[in-house]
Structure 1
Amino acid sequence: MRRTTIISLLAVLALSLQGCSPTPEREQQVELRILHTNDLHAYLLGYDYFQQRDTDRFGLAHTAALVHQARLEQPNNLLFDNGDTIQGSAMGDWAHAQGLEYLQQQRHPVIRAMNYLGYDAAALGNHEFNYGLEYLDATIEGATFPFLSANVFEPDATADDWQASRYTPYVIQKHSFVGSDLQRHDIQVGVLGLVPPDIMRWDRHHLEGRVQARDMLAAAQYFVPKMRDEGADVVVVIAHTGLRDYGDYPEFAEQTGLYLAQVEWVDALLLGHQHRQLPGPDYQELAGVDAERGFIHGVPAVMGGQYGSHLGVIDLTLKRTDGTWQVVQAASELRQVGPERDELLVALLSDEQAHTLAMLNQPLGDTDGAIENFFARVAPNTAVAWVNQAQSWYATSLQQQGELPDLPIISAAAPFRSGFGGPEDYTHLAAGPLTLGNIADLYIYPNTLRVIELSGSELRDWLEMSARTFNTIEAGKDEWQPLLAPRIPSYNFDMMNELSYRIDLSQPARFDGEGQQVSDSHRIVDLSYQGQPVSAEQRFLLATNNYRVSGGGFFPHATTAPVYYTGQMEVRQIIAAYTREQAKQHGAAIPVQLQQNWQLKLPAEARLEFRSSSLAAAKAKAERHPRLQFLGLDDDGYGRYQYLPE
């Protein structure tokens, strides 16, 4: 229930004391608890859809148990969500597959769960826009609480027009809280929502010409004082963004938390997007951040990992002085989920869960080998190869139908489940039946296919950008060198089929994280197509995805190249269609083929290590690989591996 029986008891006691002398204003004090979830990605039930088994490591049903406990501890509480709620899990995929008609008849399962828990407000995240505005609008219409976004505007709004918001930018909610004097006090809580303006790149095909996105910091600087002027006693900013020190702040930055905390009148900052933890082990080296206590430039802040793995808790002490409520004390913490879960929430979504599992277990065909990506960052692998084969197959069919010019077709794809979520978070599909659920394991995002035209030199630049994932390796260094550079996500390491190349790690990276050239070096060497060197002027078609073509990962030439195909079919659907076609051709044993078309070029005596899965299947593969050797486990439970140069 939204208010516990403790509230009722306190209220009765407060009424009995009304005949007493009123508490002096200077002694009026209220304790307010802010509860926060972020990046749920439609993981509602504590269920691992990749392994198809229950888990107590994440899931809103487990987070809900923490919510109930936190509310019992402090009846003066508010519950907020940071966004990226409706996309990411198989249940989210199932709900989207039902279409708009489903949403017109009943609420989205995520919204049903959030309504049940009594959220007070939520911000839109970038992944809310993945399915288009019509789907998003129909989804949030079923919420009993407001969804907020202060920096998404109508397409024709002028730069100085802050009134043309596409969504509700903020709310000021009046709450009656019991103070230390056992009296009720009305407190106005202002809540602002923000989303990365990068949505205009990442989901350009849904949003271009229909909305515009502005800088998050500029929006906060405009709206926060306005909220104060309109009577907000407390201002909470729910910003679907993380933390990064840019030095000179760039307009339209993706990670703005460090700067939002410096906006005057912000009392609490709720973060997400980066799937990290605050307070916690992350951000310890970032100036202005007290990672241990959870403060950014003195403002209490939380970020709770991903999938509901943690509940963020901010406790504020408010004191009324001279007619104004002010925050005089604050504390932040994260609470990690455990075995306890909300069984009513599980029962509430039992039908949706059954439909989701039925969808996942639809058979597509049988493979004769494993499809996995244990070592996708250091060598060709069958998981990315399967995606590339599917994209090339589909692009070839388009070419045969006359929809694409007669140019060589190359495909680019990256590993997704590659250890971010822990030592078991890797794609590993054993030989045998392949289902739709396996495709969701292999390709976790709802990206759609794009086919663009690039020159040979532009393809090389694309691969150079991918090669940022590696450190520069020094020759003659008699100590361990980490092979992989930190903080570069696996989904920004594109591999291409049909081309052959080597990656020379004695050379520094050619591009930085924003795709700007920072050296004249080339890591990509011996680039060839069908046994012949690729010339700078040679023309190719590249099959990739909308995220990349919209600027995701800042790959050179991705946003400026001619686009020959813009499809609405998800890449996952293309992979499923490719698998069915392979089953028709090969029957009960679809061959899993791997093209050994790229390799690392390294100093002969370098001692190189990296981490990957600790699963037995990963160790067994390392034993069969001529360049890999298992060394043991690191402190986080990942496998430590040595990469042996030639």
Structure 2
Amino acid sequence: MKDISITILETSDLHGHICPIHYGTNQPQSLGLAKISSYIKNVRKTEAHTILIDNGDNIQGTPLTYHYVRNQDTLSNPITQTLNHLNYDAAVIGNHEFNYGMKTLKKAVSESEFPWLSANILDRETNQPYFGKPYVIKSFADGFKVAILGLTTHYIPNWEKSEHIKDLTFEDSLTCAKAWVKHIRTHEKPDLLIVSYHGGFECDLDTGEPTERLSGENQAYAICEEVSGIDILLTGHQHRLLTGVVHGVTIVQPGCNGAYIGRVDVRLEKTDDGWSCVSKKPAIVNVEPFAPDETILAMIQPYEDATQTWLDQTIGRIDGDMIIDDAFQVRLKEHPLIEFINKVQMDAAHVEISNTALFNNQAKGLPTEVSMRDIVSNYIYPNTLTVLEVTGQDMKDALERSASYFIIGDSGEIEVNPSFYDPKPQHYNYDMWEGIEYTINVSKPFGQRVVSLSKNGQPLDPKQHYHIVMNNYRATGGGEYAMFKDKRIVREIQIDMTEILANYFMKHKTVKAEVNYNWRVVKER
């Protein structure tokens, strides 16, 4: 009998990270494709058969990718250029691939020397996979072949700008997996079938108990449970570190930003009936011990130099203190950074009410001398602004959703509701408002926590209509804000919020750090 070993490597949710640095501080950080490259090259020296797959969300997410799209897009995309250099076998379309628009995505796909897969993103006119291939077959000289099927969370219409996806339909991932796995097993007869799904797990891997609202955003557990014929399921989207076996399917999820890489070592044995899979061993590899690949760094240096020059431009100053010492306290008590962002949004949209979030716990606020680096390290998403027409009741419902961010812990103090950080950090789904006055009492039951709500000192009329500015993600209902979904769009400001913030500084030069304490979070029995 003859044994064959295959090593499957997975990156996912790279979010534009190539260089091992934190752009907000410019300090070294153990992440990115340059470090991953060193690991991949090391594996290929020792393993005769390798398959390398990216699971999606790779072309968006850093100042480098943002600057490239805005200022260098006549050049080749630095991410696809790097993936080409590393000889990826396939990539899956992720939800953030659409953030910069279809023109940027199509350019990245056209420049790639590997196929982009997504069986369930369909052309609206033809009902066929929009990006060409739902799956690929990789054949090896030893006579065995591997099928790789790509799937993408079909929840994208709940987040993405409609003009970016107007030619597409998104089929249910689970339904699509059932059909295509059956097709591949029947017609291709692969010795190993891999599904690479840009989506995550909605249930506990061991118990099968739901860990989130079963919206359809993440269907990995159901795919393992209900779709027969899958050997390996590569996952992502949630930024989790996962390995295991679910209903006989070997699974991996390798975190985000290129800090880790997923690996599955497969051993096959040749029998009279063909190749038989003897073992599948999943692992997550931390790339920290590996030095960045100097070839990769040299290749993208022109992009990096231009990005760094742009980031270090001073664009304005702060009069007062807009530094963040504790992200949790920002959400408990109004902070000048949040007030500033809301005021800029209202200024840009010409409305009186706004909401925004503190997007992650690493935000440091703005120093006295403000550069583009400071802007992009605090406002990390390529959001634009949308003005919606909503009712007073819609605002109350939205505030109740935000109020669910808090619980009273065992110590009797206000804490973060675990559903906002497990299984995936979702601190960006807690909004703070300007233009209205409100009080959240965390001691009250969920849905009954907004104990006062007014505008200009007068109670908000539940039936009256108001114009509210918010980011485009929230305006589509993203973050379980269903009250905003399908509401009338009054106007859209098609400029990235980072650019709007920079323009505000360039116009006003100096911004005063201040708050008006229009909202409170309390715990009163």
Q: TM-score range by the shorter chain?
A: over 0.9
**Match for residue 511 of structure 2 among 590, 593, 606:** 590
Residue 44 (structure 1) aligns with: 18
168 and 296 in structure 1: CA distance in 2 versus 1, 3 angstrom threshold:
same
1:619-640 deviation digits (Å, cap 9, x = unpaired): xxxxxxxxxxxxxxxxxxxxxx
Residue 332 (structure 1) aligns with: 282
Residue 384 (structure 2) aligns with: 448
Residue 423 (structure 2) aligns with: none
Residue 298 (structure 2) aligns with: 347
**Match for residue 269 of structure 1 among 211, 229, 233:** 233
1:257-277 deviation digits (Å, cap 9, x = unpaired): 112223212111111100010
Residue 74 (structure 1) aligns with: 47
Residue 235 (structure 1) aligns with: 193
User: Residues 497 and 595 of structure 1 are in contact (CA less than 8 Å); yes or no, is this contact kept in structure 2?
Assistant: no
Structure 2 Cα separation of the partners of residues 487 and 337 of structure 1: 29
126 and 383 in structure 1: CA distance in 2 versus 1, 3 angstrom threshold:
same
**Match for residue 60 of structure 2 among 60, 66, 87:** 87
**Match for residue 138 of structure 2 among 173, 176, 187:** 173
User: Residues 202 and 214 of structure 2 are in contact (CA less than 8 Å); yes or no, is this contact kept in structure 1?
Assistant: no
Partner SS, residue 194 of structure 1: strand
**1:449-528, aligned counterparts within 5 Å?**
449-471=385-407, 473=408, 479-480=411-412, 483-488=415-420, 489-510=426-447, 522-528=448-454
Residue 317 (structure 2) aligns with: 366
Q: What is the CA distance between 1:357 and its match in structure 2?
A: 0.6
Q: State whether structure 2 residue 54 is matched by structure 1 residue 97.
A: no
Q: What is the CA distance between 1:209 and its match in structure 2?
A: 3.5
Q: What RMSD in Å do the two structures reach over aligned CA positions?
A: 2.1
Partner SS, residue 346 of structure 1: helix
Q: State whether structure 2 residue 76 is matched by structure 1 residue 111.
A: no
Q: What is the CA distance between 1:313 and its match in structure 2?
A: 0.8
Structure 2 Cα separation of the partners of residues 557 and 447 of structure 1: 20
Q: What is the CA distance between 1:134 and its match in structure 2?
A: 1.9
| Paired letter, 2:300 | L
Q: What is the CA distance between 1:74 and its match in structure 2?
A: 1.8
Q: What is the CA distance between 1:137 and its match in structure 2?
A: 0.8
**1:64-213, aligned counterparts within 5 Å?**
64-98=37-71, 102=74, 106-157=75-126, 163-176=128-141, 185-213=142-170
User: Residues 417 and 427 of structure 1 are in contact (CA less than 8 Å); yes or no, is this contact kept in structure 2?
Assistant: no
User: Residues 392 and 466 of structure 2 are in contact (CA less than 8 Å); yes or no, is this contact kept in structure 1?
Assistant: yes
- Looking at CA atoms only, which structure, 1 or 2, has the larger radius of gyration? 1
Q: State whether structure 2 residue 516 is matched by structure 1 residue 570.
A: no
Structure 2 Cα separation of the partners of residues 507 and 381 of structure 1: 24
1:402-461 deviation digits (Å, cap 9, x = unpaired): xxxxxx62001011122xxxxxx233332x221222211121111111001122222111
| Paired letter, 1:52 | N
Q: What is the CA distance between 1:118 and its match in structure 2?
A: 1.2
Q: State whether structure 2 residue 222 is matched by structure 1 residue 259.
A: yes
Q: State whether structure 2 residue 143 is matched by structure 1 residue 222.
A: no
Q: State whether structure 2 residue 273 is matched by structure 1 residue 323.
A: yes
| Paired letter, 1:501 | Y
Residue 630 (structure 1) aligns with: none
Partner SS, residue 140 of structure 2: strand
5+ residue gaps in structure 2?
A: 421-425
Residue 580 (structure 1) aligns with: 506
User: Residues 56 and 94 of structure 2 are in contact (CA less than 8 Å); yes or no, is this contact kept in structure 1?
Assistant: yes
487 and 68 in structure 1: CA distance in 2 versus 1, 3 angstrom threshold:
farther
1:558-577 deviation digits (Å, cap 9, x = unpaired): 11322100232112221112
Runs of 4+ in 1 over 6 A off after TM superposition: 246-252
Q: What is the CA distance between 1:592 and its match in structure 2?
A: 1.4
Q: What fraction of aligned residue pairs are identical, expressed as a percent?
A: 30
| Paired letter, 1:198 | Y
Q: What is the CA distance between 1:251 and its match in structure 2?
A: 9.0
Q: State whether structure 2 residue 357 is matched by structure 1 residue 414.
A: yes
1:601-624 deviation digits (Å, cap 9, x = unpaired): 2147xxxxxxxxxxxxxxxxxxxx
Report the number of matched residues.
509
Q: What is the CA distance between 1:255 and its match in structure 2?
A: 0.7
Q: What is the CA distance between 1:165 and its match in structure 2?
A: 4.0
Structure 2 Cα separation of the partners of residues 297 and 372 of structure 1: 48
User: Residues 372 and 381 of structure 1 are in contact (CA less than 8 Å); yes or no, is this contact kept in structure 2?
Assistant: no
**1:521-536, aligned counterparts within 5 Å?**
522-536=448-462
Structure 2 Cα separation of the partners of residues 212 and 135 of structure 1: 19
